[in-house]
Amino acid sequence: MKFLILIRYKNLLMIALVQLLIKYAFLEPFGAVTSLDGFGISLLIMATVCIAAAGNIINDINDIETDLVNKPERIIIGKAISEKLAYNLFIGLNLTGVALGFYLSHRVGSPSFFTIFILVSALLYIYATYLKQTFLIGNLIVSLLVAISILIAGFFELLPVMTISNRPTQIVFFKSILDYAIFAFTLNLLREIAKDIEDIDGDYKAGMNTLPIALGRDRAKNILSVLNFIPLAGIIYYMISNLYKQQIAVIYFLLLIIAPLIYICIKTFNAQSKKEFHHISSMYKLVMLFGMLSLLLYKYVILN
């Protein structure tokens, strides 16, 4: 169980769920030409999850000092799992993910896609060892990697089988996946800022230069309060433009995405304690989950 907590199994399950939804709830039901069969999508999920799990491990290895202040009760490395074993797990999972990515890239006839896995693996390591400490750059990088975990399904499913005749349709599907990736990027960036505010004490002790450390907790909170309106406005615009005729979809977005985002806006404006910012961080993740599950409603967008 400690190993599952170490690799953030809930986040990994969300990655797997999103990639499965993209294939089986969005692309295949609506006639997209796809390159991956059941075995292929399983390989993609395994490769993505292995590299993401390795990134979580190296992140925890480098966060031992800050976690002693921020989350002493949740420290695993050095207690339940030795640092040496954690490094070995990091290397093993990385090699497995990259090897699967290499095989899958050649299997779909696009060997250049292999570079995606190499770049993601390298960025996760650089993020954990250096970029995480820099002003906003670390937040942007990890949010970009979250978006890539969604986009990669579009790359492997749509691009290898794109032809002159199906190109317009394939691009429409890919743009829709891109919309979800942008949504995930935006929410994760806001979540990273909320987490930085929550963890300001430990990060300061470790010599990091996060947004709340550079500008102060109150200014960072005010910036986050303003930024919260970006995804809210974007989702409202999307709903009005695409879903206003579809009652079920409108109710879903109002109750499970827009209402929680409004709640986050209010809570952020009034938040003061570490516990409150932790709650806000959890709410961002919940909204991301409901956002990804909305792929199940995509038929309403198509019909519109």
pLDDT in tens, 82-130: 889 989 999 999 999 999 999 999 999 999 999 999 999 999 999 888 8
**pTM beyond cutoff 0.85:** yes
Angle made by CA atoms 290, 120, 108, in degrees to the nearest 5: 85
**Is the pLDDT confidence value at 303 over 60?**
no
Task: Round to whole Å and give the CA distance between 97 and 49.
Answer: 8
What is the domain partition of the chain in residue ranges? 2-215
Q: Name the CA radius of gyration of the chain, rounded.
A: 20
235 token code pair = 């989702």
Question: Tens digits of per-residue pLDDT, 230-286?
Answer: 999 999 998 888 777 778 888 999 999 999 999 999 999 999 898 999 999 999 999
CB-neighbour burial class of residue 122 (10 A; exposed 0-12, middle 13-18, buried 19+): exposed
Q: Is the pLDDT of residue 63 over 60?
A: yes
Helix (H), strand (E) at residue 45: helix 38-62
Task: Give per-residue pLDDT as tens, 190-226.
Answer: 999 999 999 888 778 777 888 999 899 999 999 999 9
Take residue 220 and report the two structure tokens written for it: 């960072």
